[in-house]
Each structure stands twice: as structure tokens, then as C-alpha cells.
């Protein structure tokens, strides 16, 4: 029984490791947010400091989302 527990634990750890998200070279952040909720210039400053391009989309209500 102890041997099976170890094998099951190892298989679970392997599955989690294989399914983990990984970074790619795209460096793009898709940001979906309320209208007028982000201060002007904030996303440009974020891009300048991090090098990550932000694609900013807004919605008017929860129903739209």
C-alpha cells in the first residue's frame, strides 16, 4: 500500500509539473476591465517599466462581460 501511495504521489507531481503554465516570448498582457477604471498613463508606464505590451479592453456592465 505504501508503494502505491508513492507512485500515485509521483504521478500527481509529474502531472502538475507538465500542466504548469510557462512564459513565452510574446510579452503581451490582455487586460479586460471596467470602463474608465484605470488611471490615464498607467498602462503606458507599465509597458515602459516592464516591456510587456498591454492590450486593454473594457466592458460597460457585468452582462457585457
Closest by Cα among 12, 15, 50 to 31: 50
Kindly state the cell numbers that stand for 49: 517599466
Question: What are the pLDDT digits (tens) for 13-44?
Answer: 656 555 545 555 678 999 888 777 788 899 99
In this prediction, residue 38 carries a pLDDT of: 84
Which of residues 57 and 26 earns the better pLDDT score?
Answer: 57
Residue carrying C-alpha cell 505504501: 2
Whose cell is 503606458? That residue is 44
Please give the Cα distance from 23 to 45 (Å, whole number): 22
Amino acid at each position: 500500500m505504501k508503494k502505491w501511495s508513492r507512485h500515485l504521489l509521483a504521478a500527481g507531481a509529474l502531472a502538475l509539473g507538465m500542466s504548469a503554465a510557462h512564459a513565452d516570448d510574446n510579452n503581451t498582457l490582455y487586460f479586460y476591465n471596467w470602463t474608465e477604471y484605470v488611471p490615464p498613463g498607467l498602462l503606458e508606464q507599465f509597458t515602459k517599466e516592464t516591456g510587456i505590451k498591454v492590450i486593454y479592453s473594457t466592458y460597460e456592465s457585468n452582462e457585457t462581460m
